[in-house]
Amino acid sequence: MPSHTFTVNGESVTVDAPDDLPLLWALRDLLGIRGPKYGCGIDVCKACTSHLDGEAVRPCVVPVAEAAGREVTTIEGLADGDELHPVQEAWLEQDVAQCGYCQPGQIMAAVALLKRTKNPTDADIDEIANVCRCGTYFRIREAIKSAAARMG
């Protein structure tokens, strides 16, 4: 069984898994990191959105071998110790989450967007295609704008 070493949320990890095992299952089932959620397995619902070297990816379609030597960040690694990321703070302020299942992915997508664009327009926000089945989209939009203001 091939072995893959990469960094998850600042810690080096090694997993034994077939090269083509989707990173999502290495994270969830081998490493017990359950923030990234399964919703479709084909990069459509985007519930598993996490970061690979700082860019948003969907671990359900990233083979674990591709993560080797790279840095994976999941929702668990977003806060700085006890200090939440400004996007998480904005999420709390706007009371965005309903059931919460899509929210780790929504937050990780928002963080990636704010990294690319300091002051995203409505059109930029529209490009986040993560499904929220509770339909919280408007609060997500407000939270992203609020986070952009916080992050200056």
The interface mask with another protein, positions 51-90, x = CB under 8 A, is ----------------------------------------
Instruction: Label the pairing between strands 11-16 and 55-57.
Output: unpaired
Q: Which of 9, 35, 37, 108 binds another protein (CB under 8 A)?
A: 37
Our CB check for another protein shows the closer of 140 and 147 to be 140
According to the binding rule CB under 8 A, does residue 29 interact with another protein? yes
d(CA 24, CA 101): 15
Q: Which two tokens stand for residue 145?
A: 């704008």
Q: Which two tokens stand for residue 114?
A: 């704010």
**Which residues, 1 to 20, sit near another protein by CB under 8 A?**
1, 17-18
DSSP assignment of 104-152: HHHHHHHHHHHHH-SS--HHHHHT-----TT--HHHHHHHHHHHHHHH-
Our CB check for another protein shows the closer of 83 and 149 to be 149
Residues of this chain that bind another protein (CB under 8 A): 1, 17-18, 21-22, 24-26, 28-30, 37-42, 44-45, 47, 95, 98-102, 122, 125-141
